[in-house]
Structure formats: C-alpha cells, structure tokens
Amino acid sequence: MKIGIGSDHNAFEMKTQLKEHIETLGIEVIDFGCFSPEEVDYPSIAFEVANGINDGKIERGILVCGTGIGMAMAANKVPGVRAAQCHDTYSAERAQLSNNAQIITMGSKVIGIEVAKKVVSEYLSVKFEGGNSARKIDQIMQKESEVAK
C-alpha cells in the first residue's frame, strides 16, 4: 500500500510525526508537503493528494491542518474523491468500512499526536468490503456525476 500525506503549516509537525509512524507500520509514504512551518494555503496540497488518488500514485491519503475541516472540504472538491474528517478510531474505521473514504483528515489543534497515530493506524488497518455500503457509495458517486455535467 502507498499512502499520500500532506499538511499546511499549522499541522507540519503532526504530519512529520504521522509520516514516521506510518513508515514504522511498513507502509510507503509519499509526502506532498508542506515541507516547513512557513505559512502555506492548504487547498493546493489537498488537491495534490486527491489527484494522487485519482492518478493511482497512492491508494489512500492522510491530510492534516489546524481543524481538518478545510482539508476535507478541499479534497472533496476533486471529482471521485471521498475525504472524511476523523478525530477518533471509530470514525476512522467507519470512514473506510462504510464510506470507502480514500482520504481522512484531522486537525492538529483538535487532537494530539498519540490519538492521531491511533486514528491513522485504525484507518489503514481496515479495507472496504462493499455490502450495503456499496449501494450508498454508488448513489453518492452518481450524484457527483450528475452535478459535473
């Protein structure tokens, strides 16, 4: 599995620690930035990670900013991408199992690094298996294609 990770300046330190954590799980990580604590706008980073999903460069993504909200909003603007904000392990599990979210987002000003590591580990430990949830995801994607026309 190949994971993309990205952050804005508010979450640079958290992103750095999450990247190291994911690598200790034996998972390859591609870092989409930011690469310093210098101020940067998050939308371009969210778009790059989301495009990485669509291009097949990565299978899943982790995005962090101050709240996780902006990253989720930006990533969800990329057609075909489903990003879910998760600040607990249950939400992270359900983001994948129920919603087949390719990206999760978190806020560095909302949760601490140890909880963030647990959220990431849970998200990466499960795989979407379809079932009743597939029907619901299909409805969401159908609506997205209608809006795009």
Q: Which residues are catalytic?
A: 65
List CB contacts of 148: < 8 A, sequence separation 6 or more. 79
CA distances to 35, 92, 105 from 125, in Å: 27, 10, 16
CA–CA gap between residue 39 and residue 20 (Å, rounded): 22
Which of 63, 72, 84, 70 is closest to 126 using CA atoms?
84
Q: What are phi and psi of 145, to 5 degrees?
A: -70, -30
Taking each helix axis as running N to C, give the angle between helix 89-97 and helix 113-125, from 0 to 180 degrees, rounded to the nearest 10. 30
